[in-house]
Structure formats: structure tokens, C-alpha cells
Amino acid sequence: MRAHLVGIAIFRAVYDRICEEQTHLLPDVAVTLAELRERGLRMSVASNKPASYSIRILERLGVLPFFDAVEGPDTAGTAKPDPAMIRACVAAMGVALYETVYVGDMTLDARLRGRGRGRGRPIAGGSSPDDALRETGFPVVSSLKELPVRLLRLSPAPAGGRRPASA
């Protein structure tokens, strides 16, 4: 167990130095986030990396202002697939869980959605291979450019004009 803790300490020390410079936006991320926000969607980030790393990365990439909250295991108290981060994001956006759509790029995210934690859409092109995402049984969004249309089809705005949020 001690070797595991040493490994984590080494990883964090190195990651702390390189996380900003070694992380790049996938194509279409910035334009997709802008379009989603323009259409009235609220967004948050739930990542299994510590929230401080996510905030630094998102800030450097220029997309932090799109998000209402950034949660990690350090802020939520536990890692995904436990739903604590999702609950924190939903609360920060000021919406009900049924109004949200959870978008993730890992099979872990699909498992979280599969535990009855709201609606979700796995998205291709991220951490998990596309075939592994398809094996989850949930409809896979094939590209970021497709996401705004897929989200709006999933849940049209109610009469008051409030759109679903995504975490």
C-alpha cells in the first residue's frame, strides 16, 4: 500500500508541473461550448482529477468561463462513479437532476449514468475507445460538433425557455 501512495505523490508532483502545458483542447471544443452556452445550457465539469488541476487547465485553455462549477474527488468527497460530483454540479447550476444531461467520454461515465443518475450521453473521441462506449448500450454521440443538436433533441426547452444543463 505504501508504494501506491509514493506512486501517487510522484504522479501529482509531475502532473502539477505539466498538466497545463501538456493538455490541449480537442477540435471543436471551444466552439461547441460557446454554442451550448449561447443556446442557454448551463454546464459544469465533474472530473476524477483534483478540481484544482481541472480549473488550472480550463483557465489556461480559455474555456473556464463556460462552466458554473468544476468538481473533483477532493471537492465532492469521492470519485466517480459515485454520484457525489454530479449532485454538486447539479446544485451549483441550480437545476433539478431530471433537467440535466450527463456527457462523458469514458465507460466509467456511462456506468454512472446507468446507475440511474439522470440522462446521459457517452461521447466518442475521448479517453475510452469508441467500441467500448458502444458496448455500454447507451447512444453514443459521435463528435463534439453533433452535441448541441443531440442535446436539444433530447430535451426541448419548456415553455419558460429554460434549457437542460449538462455536467
Mean model confidence pLDDT for the chain: 84
Q: What domain range is 137 assigned to? A: 26-166
Q: Is residue 155 part of a domain?
A: yes
Q: Is residue 108 part of a domain?
A: yes
Q: Is residue 10 part of a domain?
A: no
Quickly state the pLDDT bin for 117 (edges 50, 70, 90): low
Q: Is residue 12 part of a domain?
A: no
Instruction: CATH number of the domain at 141, please.
Output: 3.40.50.1000
CA distance 37 to 54: 19
Q: Is residue 112 part of a domain?
A: yes
Between residues 26 and 90, the one the model is more confident about:
90
Q: Is residue 132 part of a domain?
A: yes
What pLDDT is attached to residue 72? Answer: 96
Q: Is residue 5 part of a domain?
A: no
Contact predicate 136/110, CB 8 Å: yes
Instruction: Supply the pTM of this predicted model.
Output: 0.81
What pLDDT is attached to residue 115? Answer: 54
Residue ranges of E strands in the chain? 44-46, 69-71, 100-104, 119-122, 165-166
User: Average pLDDT of 121-130?
Assistant: 83
**Cis before 81? omega within 30:** yes
Report pLDDT digits (tens) over 70-105: 999 999 999 988 889 999 999 999 998 888 888 888
Identify which of 22-31, 62-71, 88-97, 137-146 has the greatest average pLDDT.
62-71
Q: Considering its fold, how many domains does the chain have in total? A: 1
CA distance 53 to 51: 5
* pLDDT above 60 (res 131): yes
Between residues 4 and 72, the one the model is more confident about:
72
Identify which of 11-25, 66-80, 131-145 has the greatest average pLDDT.
66-80
Task: Order across the sheet with 100-104: list the strands.
Answer: 119-122, 100-104, 165-166
* pLDDT above 50 (res 128): yes
* pLDDT above 60 (res 157): no
Residue 89: Cβ within 10 Å count: 26
Please identify which residue in the block is written with the cell numbers 433530447.
Answer: 154
Q: Is residue 105 part of a domain?
A: yes
Contact predicate 80/114, CB 8 Å: no
What pLDDT is attached to residue 160? Answer: 43
CA distance 76 to 71: 6
What pLDDT is attached to residue 113? Answer: 60
